[in-house]
Structure 1
Amino acid sequence: MSSIRPKTRPLPIIIALVLGLLLCLAVPATASASQHSPQAGSDKRELICHTSNPDECYPLVFEPTDEFQTVHDDQQLPNGLHVRLNIWTGKKEAKINVPDEINPALEGLPVDQAVVLVEQEQQETIQVPKGAPKYDNVGKIKEPAPGGEAQVEAIAFMETFKMLKTGVIPSDEEFDHGLEGLEELSHDIYYGLKITEETDVIKALFCLMGTPEGPVSEGYTPRGQQAAAILAGALSNNPSALNEISKIWTELMDSTCSHEGATIHELFYHHTILPTDSPSKVKAAVSAVNGLLKDDKIRQHFLEDNGMKQLLPILFQEKAEWAAAQRKIGQLVLDTFLDEDMGAQLGQWPRGQALSNQACVTPETALEDGCWDYHAEMMVRLHGTPWSKELRKRLASARKANSKLPNHGEL
């Protein structure tokens, strides 16, 4: 008796069915992957979206390129990038760091991590007299530490430095912001020296300082005032910076300001300190002149060119807003010519005797050296401040001590 065996499907058919089932399952996944493949990479990024517009989203982790891009405040920065602060926008920017990359703004200058280097001069051997006080090397210039905030400052400094040197200004707003930042840095002994080492930059600052102000809108600092403040800051307690200007003084005075068509000498002695300017501008300019007069050569030229005549009209002003500028002038005269304890070299000024009150209210003679006593007395009566009383007292003593000198201008 023959047995009945169950029918079985051939093996090839079973294999084909299994493969077909797997293929059907794979098709939707493949189609889905194909549909979204252009954004496959972006799907893996964590995005930050502050609006419903997807075009305004940006990755949580900053993705650098070879060009500087703005870094959002809530983005994460990978390590090793070249990061800078854009002084015009106030935004942080970053790009791929390229070792030994040279900033075009620093071309031609020795740099170390975007910090300008000052080449140390050869120190001369000085024979110290016996019993002299110990020397304190307070004038030694040290470069800022590289990296961090110092790097940002150096880049901002060089961008404004380049605008002053070349005269090429991207925009008025950028230039004004740059001058404001440069004024802050000028008080640093290192940057003060760098400013005065470049002749073209010094010429540009003197030209700006001697430019008439004209009407000034509220909240705006005129460029002449900013330039004066930069010079004053650079010269403050910085003998090395003062020496740089002293070396080029004659050349500087003979230079012409292209936008004014006048020499710096003419602007410096006739337009830098004017009662028609704002008291703030005059105060900054007097501070700059005070710093310059610390140099023997410049002080001699200043006296020979009747520089004191541009200071005296400020003492004529009776409004309270002029008090600070008048005090600056009083301090300049005391520290430079009358108060030996403050470093003044006595006997250089004033010369001759005081003029009469009548002479000092006459326009033709009101600016003579002999009228300083009269206007110092007016300051005492107007303000009664300690500096005005000290100025009056010191002037009287100087007149007495200098009585044997020729009397220049006495009527």
Structure 2
Amino acid sequence: MEFGLLNLILLLISVHCLHYSWSESSQQQRASAVTVVEQTEENIGKRKEEATVEDDLDPEDMEVFYPTDKWQVVKPGQAIPAGLHVRLNLETGKNEAKIPDDGNGKNGLKYWKQGSRHGMVNTDSKSFTAEELKKALKLMKQEGITDVEGHEEKVQKTFRPIKELMEDFEAMNVVMETDMEIIDKLVSKFNSTSATLENKIAALSDLEYYVHQVDNAQHLMAIGGLQLMTNALNATEPGIRENAAFVLGSALSGNPKVQIEAIEAGALQKLLILLATDQPLAIKKKALFAFSSMLRHFPFAQQQFLKLGGLQVLGQLFQAKGMESLRIRIMTLLYDMVMEKKLIQEVQDGSAQDQEKFHQYEKVNLLPPMLEQDWCVLVPKLLTSTDHDTREKVLRTMNLMISSCKNEYQAMEGLSSLLNMLQSEYEELAAEEQGEGEQDGYFLGLLNSVNDIIKKLG
């Protein structure tokens, strides 16, 4: 009895333990359904890719979305042109886009721009018409104009306005002087009794720079500076005479008002004295420069030049020893004066101004005294130069004078042989030019000048 009761108790305990074990196993199986998957490297990489957002992509690496009239899936990272219809497909959970209709079921030409990328889409046909291309080009040009305007706005923000800069200069006591104010100071500096020789020469050098301008030269004349420069031609210091002549030459060049004032101030006579007397070559060069500036296109000055014996002075200077570098300048000046009169005589439009010029040049008879003073012989001597530019000017002058100097040219020993030598030389050089494709080259022009003289002398 006792043994049976003991067995019954052991059986109950076994059944209870088995039930507890089964219950615990079921709970573990249910819990396994929500357990987090182990974080392997593959899973981590996949989750990082899914977590990447569009803002993290480099705009230059984005794939451009090319729209049509059909809904297309927009991939992550694709650049979508502005103006498209965009929707979220609820069935697939993806974004889609297409070109909007124009209300008639037609899409037509569409222009899009994304950053530096831009283009157009034509959904009506596979090719573009000429009008469509013109429209697209117009849109692209408008984009360019917008970019330029943006650039200008950026520049305006970067640099300060001139008004503000001027205000800052005034605050710093920086005075912006005009050319005329500077000329006033330079004249005062040159005319100052306390100025050293170096100060005076420096003032003249600076003045020469400014008086190239017509208005500045006339201002110098208005404040008495032109008379001051004319008087300085008599200065005892060579440096003063040289630089004063240089200032005069620059102020006179192509400036009729200053030319008239200078001749009335006696500048022509004083320049002739510098050319006729013993002076350093540097002074002679500057005096001849000023002399030429006064005579060119000023028939009254040319008349006075002949009356004062200027042609004889130039002839002596032309033949003077040590003055060889001035010969071409002298010959060019005489040629220019002869040509001025010839052109005025040949070209007239009947205006009162041309008639007045014609009457003024009629009083200038330069060629006859040139023939009397052996210029027919002096000019051809320069043909021995090896410089082509010098030869050109000599040949040009000889052609101008040949009708009056024919006998002298024919009588000159060695001139015919020299012309034949130049003819051969320029035939070769002209042929080389033509071989290089230059039909009207420089050397062909020189050859024609030589041929003209040879023909006229024959």
TM-score range, shorter chain: 0.3 to 0.5
- Structure with the greater relative contact order (CA < 8 A, sep ≥ 6): 1 or 2? 1
Name the structure where helix makes up a greater proportion of residues. 2
Question: Which one has a bigger Cα radius of gyration?
Answer: 2
TM-score by length of 2: 0.42
